[in-house]
Amino acid sequence: MKKPTYKQIRTTIALALHSRYITTVEDPDLLRALHAARASNYDMERMDAATLEMIYGHFDAGTTRKVLAEFTYHTSLGNVRDNGRPVAICTLCGKGDSRDDGANADHLRYEYRLTNGAGGSHVWCGSTCILNHHLKVAGAETSAEARKLLERSFRLHMKEWARQAWRAENPDHESIVGLYEKVRHSPLRGWSMRQYSVEMGLLLGLSYDDLARRYRVCFGGYGGGGELRTAVRFYLRHAYLTPAKQVAWDLAKSLKRDLAILDAALLEAQGLMGEARLAFFRERGETLKKPHQGAEVFEAPVTKETA
**pLDDT tens digits for 232-263?**
999 999 999 999 999 999 998 988 888 888 88
Q: Is the pLDDT of residue 287 over 80?
A: yes
Rounded-to-integer distance, Cα 306 and Cα 251, Å: 14
Q: What DSSP element (H or E) covers 124?
A: strand 123-125
More confident residue, 44 or 84: 84
The per-residue pLDDT for range 30-83, each reduced to its tens digit, is: 888 998 888 887 777 788 888 888 888 888 888 888 999 999 999 999 999 999
Predicted pLDDT of residue 210: 86
Amino acid (1-letter code) at residue 37: A
CA distances for 117 relative to 66, 86, 143, 221, angstroms: 12, 28, 21, 57
- Expressed in angstroms, the distance from the first to the final Cα of the chain is 78
Among 2-6, 206-210, 241-245, 278-282, the least confident range = 2-6
Instruction: Tell me the mean pLDDT in the region 154-165.
Output: 95
Among 33-37, 119-123, 152-156, 277-281, the least confident range = 33-37
Q: Is the pLDDT of residue 219 over 50?
A: yes
Rounded-to-integer distance, Cα 174 and Cα 210, Å: 28
Residue in 277, 267, 255, 279 with CA at minimum distance from that of residue 204: 255
Instruction: Tell me the mean pLDDT in the region 114-141.
Output: 94
Predicted pLDDT of residue 100: 45
Give backbone dihedrals phi and psi of 4, rounded to 5 degrees, phi first: -70, 160
Chain-centroid distance, C-alpha 236: 17
Q: Is the pLDDT of residue 106 over 60?
A: yes
Predicted pLDDT of residue 159: 94
Q: Is the pLDDT of residue 295 over 50?
A: no
- Do residues 96 and 86 make contact, with C-beta atoms less than 8 angstroms apart? yes
Predicted pLDDT of residue 234: 95
Predicted pLDDT of residue 39: 84
Instruction: Tell me the mean pLDDT in the region 162-171.
Output: 95
Confidence of residue 307 (pLDDT cuts 50, 70, 90): very low
Q: Which residues lie below 8 Å from residue 218, measured CB to CB, with a gap of 6+?
A: 183, 226, 227, 228, 248, 251, 252, 255
Rounded-to-integer distance, Cα 203 and Cα 277, Å: 11
Q: Which burial class, exposed, middle or buried, applies to 40 when counting CB atoms under 10 A from its CB (0-12, 13-18, 19+)?
A: middle
More confident residue, 111 or 292: 111
Instruction: Tell me the mean pLDDT in the region 279-304.
Output: 66
More confident residue, 299 or 114: 114
Among 129-143, 164-178, 253-267, the least confident range = 253-267
Buried b (16+ CB within 10 A) or exposed e, 141-174: eeeeebeebbeebbeebeeeeeeeebeeebeebe
Predicted pLDDT of residue 144: 96
The per-residue pLDDT for range 168-218, each reduced to its tens digit, is: 999 999 999 998 888 777 765 555 677 888 988 999 988 888 888 888 888
Confidence of residue 300 (pLDDT cuts 50, 70, 90): very low
Q: Which residues pair with 125 in a beta bridge?
A: 112
Q: What is the mean pLDDT of the chain?
A: 84
